[in-house]
Amino acid sequence: MIQTVCVCGAGTMGSGIAQTSAAAGFYTILFELNESVLDKAKTTIEKKLQTLVEKNKISETDKAATLNNLHFTNDLYDCLANVVIEAIVEDAPKKIALINQLAEINHSETVFATNTSSISVTQIATAVKNPERVVGMHFFNPATLMKLVEVVATDFTNPQTLQLVIDFSKQMNKTPVLCKDAPGFIVNRVARPFYIESLRMLEENSASIFTIDSIMEASGFRMGPFKLMDLIGNDINYAVSCSVYQQLHNPERLKPSFIQKEKVANGELGKKTKRGYYQYD
Ligand SMILES: NC(=O)c1ccc[n+]([C@@H]2O[C@H](COP(=O)([O-])OP(=O)(O)OC[C@H]3O[C@@H](n4cnc5c(N)ncnc54)[C@H](O)[C@@H]3O)[C@@H](O)[C@H]2O)c1
């Protein structure tokens, strides 16, 4: 039975996943190395809960219970849990190093779920002791609102681990969908050309950012590609583009754009840095 959940990384995804887990009644540790990011996550969660109270979506008691379930830390040794969900940067060696550090201090049955968007879960699992308890749990942005969770099993994942994350997703009021450990799983594979073709049109000067976004929204997409990339984070989206491209053996149609690379080099990461394809001051 899950009592304690530890979410690693308090950025765009980690803070939303931790809020969702705490609201579902789990004691939730949110671990982040960068203190200012950790402080920001705390303030953001408090604000979001207050907004829900004001909109009569939750009561003051619910808000207090959620906050009471949350423990914010930058101390790795606080990260003792039944389930660890890592939501740190999209970088395989960093994810593997963190999971291995946490495996040393946790019980051998602690489940390690990775929120990676594109890295092979098998690659992570095989680098970790007891790979049978490693699984993909791919939430969507914003994690508090989006229902879908892609659950990614590897050849090593045992049935108990799989059942545990499926049940856990449902307890968080999410819809788990089982996916194969294929590059980009399902959503990020299918969505790749949405971003890459839009960037190509920009490179070719065929249409402006605003025109592409407006037209795609008018055609029924909830957000245009540039608004969506700014929401995701251009560093994350570029890393996912590169990862899917490499894993599929560099097909020309999925070649990452130099525009994205430049955005990352300039620190224009989107909403999280207040600058991306748009400005958010
Ligand atoms: N942004 C999205 O829309 C989205 C959606 C689904 C999945 N994901 C995946 O979730 C993960 C996180 O993405 P994000 O957008 O939240 O990134 P982010 O850059 O907003 O946050 C990542 C955080 O991890 C922290 N961090 C880095 N190394 C750490 C470590 N060793 N220990 C603890 N914290 C560490 C960083 O300081 C940063 O605050 C990535 O794997 C990404 O692919 C992202």
Report the alpha-carbon distance of residue 88 to residue 7 in Å, rounded. 9
Asked if residue 192 and residue 167 are part of one domain, the reply reads no
Asked if residue 154 and residue 201 are part of one domain, the reply reads no
Query: pLDDT (tens digit, 9 = 90+) per residue, 119-160?
Result: 999 999 999 989 999 999 999 999 999 999 999 999 999 999
Whether residue 142 is contained in a domain is answered as yes
Among 179, 207, 238, the domain-final residue is 179
Q: What is the pLDDT of residue 1?
A: 87
Q: Which of 193, 189, 200, 274 is nearest to 230 (CA)?
A: 274
Whether residue 280 is contained in a domain is answered as no
pTM: predicted TM-score of the whole model, two decimal places: 0.96
- Known catalytic residues? 117, 138, 150, 188
The reply to whether ligand 1 has any atom less than 6 angstroms from the CB of 33 is yes
In ligand 1, which atom is closest to the CA atom of 139?
Answer: 6
In ligand 1, which atom is closest to the CA atom of 13?
Answer: 16
The two three-digit tokens of residue 126, written as one number: 């095989």
Query: pLDDT (tens digit, 9 = 90+) per residue, 65-106?
Result: 999 999 999 999 999 999 999 999 999 999 999 999 999 999
Residue 103 alpha carbon to ligand 1 centre in Å: 19
Report the alpha-carbon distance of residue 264 to residue 246 in Å, rounded. 19
Asked if residue 232 and residue 204 are part of one domain, the reply reads yes
Which helix or strand (DSSP H or E) is residue 134 part of? strand 134-139
Asked if residue 195 and residue 104 are part of one domain, the reply reads no
Instruction: DSSP letter for 133, please.
Output: G
In ligand 1, which atom is closest to the CA atom of 240?
Answer: 43
Whether residue 279 is contained in a domain is answered as no
The reply to whether ligand 1 has any atom less than 6 angstroms from the CB of 31 is yes
Asked if residue 223 and residue 89 are part of one domain, the reply reads no
Asked if residue 20 and residue 129 are part of one domain, the reply reads yes
Asked if residue 219 and residue 120 are part of one domain, the reply reads no
Asked if residue 68 and residue 151 are part of one domain, the reply reads yes
Report the alpha-carbon distance of residue 109 to residue 145 in Å, rounded. 30
Whether residue 267 is contained in a domain is answered as yes
Q: Tell the residue number behind the tokens 């308890």, with chain if given.
A: 133
DSSP secondary structure letters along 219-272? TT-SS-HHHHHHHH-HHHHHHHHHHHHHHTT--GGGPPPHHHHHHHHTT--BGG
**Long-range contacts made by residues 134-137, C-beta under 8 angstroms, separation at least 24?**
134/99, 134/161, 135/111, 135/161, 135/162, 135/165, 136/179, 136/181, 136/185, 137/85, 137/113, 137/165, 137/169
Number of domains in the chain: 2
Asked if residue 233 and residue 210 are part of one domain, the reply reads yes
Among 144, 162, 179, the domain-final residue is 179
Whether residue 278 is contained in a domain is answered as no
Whether residue 14 is contained in a domain is answered as yes
Q: Quick check: helix, strand or coil at residue 210?
A: helix
Asked if residue 226 and residue 114 are part of one domain, the reply reads no
Whether residue 135 is contained in a domain is answered as yes
The reply to whether ligand 1 has any atom less than 6 angstroms from the CB of 9 is yes
Q: What is the pLDDT of residue 140?
A: 98
Q: Which of 18, 24, 28 is nearest to 87 (CA)?
A: 18
Q: What is the pLDDT along the chain (281 residues), one digit of tens a residue?
A: 899 999 999 999 999 999 999 999 999 999 999 999 999 999 999 999 999 999 999 999 999 999 999 999 999 999 999 999 999 999 999 999 999 999 999 999 999 999 999 999 999 999 998 999 999 999 999 999 999 999 999 999 999 999 999 999 999 999 999 999 999 999 999 999 999 999 999 999 999 999 999 999 999 999 999 999 999 999 999 999 999 999 999 999 999 999 999 999 999 999 999 999 999 98
The CATH number covering residue 241 comes to 1.10.1040.50
Asked if residue 252 and residue 128 are part of one domain, the reply reads no
The reply to whether ligand 1 has any atom less than 6 angstroms from the CB of 98 is yes
The CATH number covering residue 123 comes to 3.40.50.720
Nearest CA to ligand 1 atom 31: 98
The reply to whether ligand 1 has any atom less than 6 angstroms from the CB of 223 is no
Whether residue 281 is contained in a domain is answered as no
- Give me the domain span that covers residue 142: 4-179
Q: What is the pLDDT of residue 214?
A: 98
Asked if residue 200 and residue 145 are part of one domain, the reply reads no
Among 124, 146, 179, the domain-final residue is 179
